[in-house]
Amino acid sequence: MRQEALQTLFEDVTRMLPRAYVTMLNPQGRPVFSNPPQEPLSLPQSGVELYFDPVTASYLQTVPLSGGWTLMIKDMVKSRAVALERSRMVQTIQALIVGRDDLMEQAGFTRNNMILLANQLFHLTTPDSTAYLVLWGLEIGFDLSLQRAVCVLELPSAGAKNAVLQDKVQRLIQNELTSYRLRADDGNPVFSPGSVATQDIVAPMSSSQLVVLMVIPPGRDNLRHELQAFLLRIHHALQENLGVDMRIGVGAVPETLTEYGVSLAQAQSALNYAKLFESTAAVSFIDDFLFEQEVAHLPQETVLHFLGASAKKLVSSQLLETVQALIRCNMSLDEAAQMLFVHRNTVVFRLNQMKRMLGLNPLHCDEDRFTLRMIYICCMLYFAPRKARENPAK
């Protein structure tokens, strides 16, 4: 039994028998908990669990517990029948607490298994390790043939309280996954209750990140929309219940077990790109940053050779914020003005400045629009006047 369960058993018996002498002995026979605090009684030499002394009208009950612990009770009673009744009451309390403790240990066992399973799933290197993981997964109740989406949730820094916060977040996510399944447009559940509902994997990756492997059905055309809706639900639940504002990154859905590591890296990159390019979205998919990812994977020397001069001009001209708004709004002047909280004419004026400086006309030329986006990505990767940043692709 866990230490918490032993203490709970002692406290419950003490409340039930307030006039009795109750003590909890460790495997070495020394009292750890006792009420009232005094020297422990010697265990009866006969080893019986209940000993009634009619001369003193008292009884001594010893309750052997797992791990070598012993609960010992001495109380004054009128008869052996009363002693037996109290003994049964103590045994009932013991059974309830032991049963609850077993459930707690099983929950901890399942959680530890999920952590180990996720960690190995992201680091498969050989066919043998893959085959072993599949068999071990089945043994502990997880079917790895089911397709899963890889989602990484990033916790805000909470210092020394991060472990407590992470545990609360993990429990809330598991509750949401159990109680709610994504639904298709026709109203049929994508994740039906029952066995599939227990196949989602939630595990901490670090002190600031949790990974959620969500079971998804094959052949879903609107999978992204359904995933986003459910992840936004989790995001809202975390805000409402814990006051936590988390960012969520989603990688491409793995087709094979060996692709889970790649998908994890993509989900983490999606989070990094969202921060780097100042996205306000709560849920970021790697598909949202395919263009940025391609540029980030190019050698820095090559990018700077072709785009460095223009990127330096754009940063020094203080027009970067306007270019960012135009790109986010697909070159819509009205939407960019609303995003920047300025008049439309102000955006037009800044756009004309950018045209003269870079020689580009992104509103009317697709090639110039493509070039401007390349320059903007180069700015954010290497020149933007922000705190030291790392290339998410490196």
- Residues 86-144 have pLDDT tens digits of 888 887 777 766 665 554 455 555 677 888 889 889 988 888 888 888 888 887 888 89
Q: Which of 58-67, 104-113, 304-313 has the lowest mean pLDDT?
A: 104-113
Q: Is residue 41's pLDDT more than 70?
A: no
Q: Is residue 295's pLDDT more than 80?
A: yes
Q: Is residue 45's pLDDT more than 60?
A: no
Task: Give the SS3 label for residue 31.
Answer: strand
The answer as to whether 217 is a domain residue is yes
Which carries the bigger pLDDT value, residue 119 or residue 218? 119
CATH of the domain at 272: 3.30.70.270
Could you say which of 101, 130, 165 is where a domain stops?
101
Cα separation of 93 and 102, whole Å?
14
pLDDT at 217: 72
The answer as to whether 390 is a domain residue is no
| Listed residue (384, 383, 349, 351) closest to 365, CA to CA | 351
Do 267 and 304 lie in one domain? The reply is no
Confidence label for 302 from pLDDT (cuts 50, 70 and 90):
very high
The answer as to whether 134 is a domain residue is no
Interval 373-382 mean pLDDT: 90
**Is the distance from CB of 60 to CB of 73 less than 8 angstroms?**
yes
Do 255 and 310 lie in one domain? The reply is no
The answer as to whether 124 is a domain residue is no
Could you say which of 293, 316, 347 is where a domain stops?
293
pLDDT at 40: 47
The answer as to whether 128 is a domain residue is no
| Listed residue (239, 236, 264) closest to 251, CA to CA | 264
DSSP string, 121-134: HTT--SHHHHHHHH
The answer as to whether 229 is a domain residue is yes
Do 152 and 93 lie in one domain? The reply is no
The answer as to whether 9 is a domain residue is yes
Do 188 and 276 lie in one domain? The reply is yes
Which carries the bigger pLDDT value, residue 269 or residue 220? 269
Which carries the bigger pLDDT value, residue 347 or residue 86? 347
Do 152 and 248 lie in one domain? The reply is yes
| Listed residue (199, 221, 393, 389) closest to 299, CA to CA | 393
| Listed residue (266, 219, 255) closest to 145, CA to CA | 255
Cα separation of 360 and 364, whole Å?
10
Q: DSSP class of residue 241?
A: H
Do 210 and 275 lie in one domain? The reply is yes
pLDDT at 158: 59
Cα separation of 27 and 113, whole Å?
29
pLDDT at 44: 47
Interval 301-322 mean pLDDT: 88
Q: Give the total number of structural domains in the chain.
A: 3
Do 173 and 243 lie in one domain? The reply is yes
**Residue 313 belongs to domain spanning:** 298-383
Q: What is the mean pLDDT of the chain?
A: 80
**Is the distance from CB of 284 to CB of 249 less than 8 angstroms?**
yes
Cα separation of 151 and 216, whole Å?
12
In the chain, % of residues over pLDDT 70: 80
Do 246 and 329 lie in one domain? The reply is no
Q: DSSP class of residue 189?
A: B
Do 167 and 256 lie in one domain? The reply is yes
Do 285 and 349 lie in one domain? The reply is no
Could you say which of 293, 312, 336 is where a domain stops?
293
Residue 190: how many CB atoms within 10 A of its CB? Answer: 18
Which carries the bigger pLDDT value, residue 101 or residue 34? 34
CB-count exposure of residue 264 (10 Å: 0-12, 13-18, 19+): buried
The answer as to whether 158 is a domain residue is yes
Do 149 and 282 lie in one domain? The reply is yes
| Listed residue (148, 150, 154) closest to 273, CA to CA | 154
- Which of 27-31, 117-121, 276-280, 282-286 holds the top average pLDDT? 282-286
Cα separation of 34 and 348, whole Å?
81
CATH of the domain at 73: 3.30.450.240
pLDDT at 210: 92
Contacts 24+ apart (CB under 8 A), 14-23: 16/89, 16/90, 16/93, 17/73, 17/75, 17/86, 17/90, 19/75, 19/76, 20/73, 20/74, 20/75, 21/73, 21/74, 21/75, 22/71, 22/72, 22/73, 23/71, 23/72
pLDDT at 101: 58
CA 160 and chain centroid, separation: 17
Do 154 and 277 lie in one domain? The reply is yes
pLDDT at 270: 93
Give this prediction's pTM.
0.64
Q: Which of 37-46, 94-103, 280-289, 307-316 has the lowest mean pLDDT?
A: 37-46
| Listed residue (213, 204, 205) closest to 170, CA to CA | 204
pLDDT at 394: 57
pLDDT digits (tens, 9 = 90+) for 147-193: 899 999 998 875 556 777 888 888 888 777 766 554 443 444 444 43
